[in-house]
Structure 1
Amino acid sequence: MASYDNAYSRFIALARIVLPLAALGILSTLFLFSRDTPSGDELPYSQVDVDELIREQRIGTPNYAGVTQDGTAIAFRAETARPDPDISGRASAEAMRARLDMPDGSHADIAARRGIVDTGAGVAVLDGAAQIDTSTGYTVRAMRLTAALERTDVLGEGPVTAEGPPGRIEAGAMQLSTDPGNEDRYVLVFKDGVRLVYDPER
């Protein structure tokens, strides 16, 4: 019985030394063979040119809306715009769209690849495949369109082509504005070498 007690005591004494050493060895292997974690400098991040964003100050899907002195509701929108750092109230835009809702119930939708809105000068200039679609059935294409912001006045610079109720129209310029003889009406006028190809089926 005494030999059993001595063997058990020796086992307990040995275990008190061996088990902590074994645990220490296991922990050390965990630290030695663990994967390296990336440092803070190696964390993935979006590749954005911050200096360029600050310099360009791009605005996504901007819009401008107002009412002209003669009561036309006018609204502009674009995919992106960049404010002019040198001229307050002026911005260039890409993929511009505009809508004019006249008091007489007619309307015109305008589209262009690019443009400039200058609230200080009171104009918006649209160019690059500029097009007007009117509720009266005209589709007008021009090199450039200049629209006033304070009154209903859209000037198209030539060459201008149009498809409408009378047929195909070619001209050097066009103008959408109030009728000088009746300010409650709006007229689309073609000028500077107008050529009409009449289509009786229209």
Structure 2
Amino acid sequence: MASPDNTYSRFVALAKILLPLAALALLSTLFLLPGIGKDSGGLPYAQVEIEDLARRPRISDPSYAGVTTDGTEISLSAETARPRSGAAQSTAESLAVRLDLPDGSHVTVTAPSGVLDPAAGRAVLKGGVRVTTSTGYLLRTEMLENDLTRTALWADVRVSGEGPAGRLEAGAMELTRSEDAGYVLVFKRGVKLVYDPQD
């Protein structure tokens, strides 16, 4: 009669041979049997999307950051940007610009679309532009230009919104640096203000 220790030793010796062989057999089925992995899906891009990217190249989530000549920190981001053919410009969607002024205030501008012109140092925001300032203004206009080299943004079309004094409308507006008054927001061309005193 074989001892229990001898039976266990034979089982271990046999397992050392059979288990690696079983593993090898399983692995070989992954590589040798035809049809495995045909329906894995590949890259998650449709052929139409690849063709569109090749025909109309674009950048996703582009961003720009810098400092103007007068010390304002400026950051610009978009959802997508597409280069314009034959021009050093890009059209962008879902634009957002933030100006952190040296005096501690800030201005945020958002728009559904726009044009970026790095060579000219300018961004033009279009189509439902919203301007929000830390000093309490919320303004809306259809088009606004932003200088990327100095602290300046302006709208030469109708502007409406609310400010600390009440509701206002104007034919144009400009944010710029004044030598004696710091950074000022100026409204021009038929300004109307409905004064709303705060209780």
Deviations 1:72-127 (A, max 9, x none): 11111011111223112x21111111100001111001100011110111110001
**Contact 1:113 1:127 (C-alpha < 8 Å) held by counterparts:** yes
Aligned to 1:168: 167
Aligned to 2:154: 155
SS at match of 2:171: strand
1:195 equivalenced with 2:187 (yes/no): no
1:1-202 matches, within 5 Å, as: 37=35, 44=41, 46-49=45-48, 50-88=50-88, 90-182=89-181, 185-201=182-198
Task: Please report how far the alpha carbon of residue 47 of structure 1 lies from its aligned counterpart in structure 2 after TM superposition.
Answer: 1.7
Check whether the contact 1:142–1:157 (CA below 8 A) recurs between aligned residues: no
CA distance in 2, matches of 1:197, 1:104: 28
Q: CA deviation at 1:44?
A: 4.7
Mapped to 2, the partners of 1:91 and 1:179 lie a distance apart of 31
Q: Deviations over 1:60-80 (max 9, x none)?
A: 111011111111111110111
Paired residue type of 1:173: A
> What one-letter code is carried by the residue in structure 2 that aligns with 1:121?
A
2: CA distance, partners of 1:100 / 1:107: 5
- The runs of at least 4 aligned residues of structure 1 exceeding 4 Å deviation read 42-45
Deviations along 1:126-155, whole A, 9 cap, x unmatched?
Answer: 011101100100011111110001111100
Deviations along 1:140-193, one digit per CA (max 9) or x if unpaired, are 1111110001111100232100201110110001001101434xx100000011
Larger radius of gyration: 1
* 50-59 vs 115-124, which moves further: 50-59
Q: Secondary structure at the match of 2:177?
A: strand
Shift of 1:37: 4.2
Aligned residues: 164
Gaps of 5+ in 2: 1-33
Tell me how far apart the structure 2 counterparts of residues 180 and 192 of structure 1 sit (CA, whole Å).
Answer: 23
Between the aligned partners of 2:119 and 2:192, the Cα distance in structure 1 is 37
- After superposition, the C-alpha distances for 1:24-60 in whole angstroms (9 at most, x for unaligned) are xxxxxxxxxxxx949x8x9855423333212211111
TM-score between both structures, scaled by the size of structure 2: 0.76
Aligned partners of 1:146, 1:91: CA distance in 2, in Å?
15
Q: 1:158 is paired with a residue of what secondary structure?
A: coil
Compute the RMSD of aligned alpha carbons: 2.2
Structure 1 runs not aligned, ≥5 long: 1-35
